[in-house]
Amino acid sequence: MRILVIEDERKIASFIKRGLKEEGYTVDTAFDGEEGYRLTAENEYDLIILDVMLPKKDGITLCRQLRHDGIATPVLMLTAKDAVQDKVKGLDSGADDYLTKPFAFAELQARIRALLRKGVRHETRLQAGDLVLDVAAHSAARSGHEIVLTMKEYALLEYLMRNAAKVVTRTMIAEHVWEIDFDTSTNIIDVYINYLRNKIDSGYEKKLIHTIRGRGYMIKD
């Protein structure tokens, strides 16, 4: 899953990004409201973590603008203010949840999991044939046999399975599994597809990962 962190305090943004990447998320960062708005217009995110006090465009204004534009991505708002009226203002702007600084990273993780569970598209168990992905446990198994995956392999497999029976292009994979500074000229996507094939399809008569020539990849039974 891909998360956008819009936070002008770079140490906090770096702390959040590092922690979420360790959990297997793909994370982009923006350090002001205008940059954050541009990224939401150019990319599709599963969740936005949004600070209230931002330069150029504050978080309340940005959240209202996103909702006005029809962007329904869950928004978790961060702020140093803990007054009830500030929380109400944030939620009324369209935010889905509110977390006051300073916060424990474990609580941030729990809030993120809760927001992601709310959407239908964020089901916690994905299946293609006899391949099962447990999103909550970050684990995969085929025919009951556990498959050990690296963080990036898991993220790629999750994206393929959320789009099961659909063609996903290399550009789509780059946008959802890698970060905004990803070098599109590299063949790393093909390399990771091969890694997955070796772990998922090797030894099985029925292959689940398919190359659609000239278009991209598809996972299907």
With CA atoms as reference, report the closest residue to 64 among 42, 85, 41, 92.
92
Amino acid 136: pLDDT? 72
Q: What is the per-residue pLDDT across 30-49, written as a single tens digit (0 to 9) for each? A: 999 999 999 998 888 889 99
Higher pLDDT, 120 or 14: 14
Amino acid 83: pLDDT? 65
Amino acid 120: pLDDT? 43
- For residue 122, is pLDDT > 50? no
With CA atoms as reference, report the closest residue to 50 among 23, 84, 24, 16.
16
Q: Which two tokens stand for residue 85?
A: 């009226």
Amino acid 81: pLDDT? 72
- For residue 87, is pLDDT > 90? no
Q: What is the per-residue pLDDT across 38-83, written as a single tens digit (0 to 9) for each? A: 999 888 888 999 999 999 999 999 999 999 898 889 999 998 776 6
- Cα 17 from Cα 21, distance rounded (Å): 6
Mean pLDDT, rounded, of the chain: 88
Amino acid 149: pLDDT? 93
Distance of CA 120 to the CA centre of its chain: 15
Q: Which two tokens stand for residue 109?
A: 């993780």
- Cα 134 from Cα 141, distance rounded (Å): 9
Amino acid 6: pLDDT? 97
pTM of the model: 0.69
Q: In what order do the strands lie in the sheet with 2-6?
A: 26-30, 2-6, 47-51, 75-79, 97-100
- Domains plus CATH for the chain? 2-120 (3.40.50.2300), 123-219 (1.10.10.10)
Number of other CB atoms surrounding residue 18 within 10 Å:
11
Average pLDDT (25-34) is 93
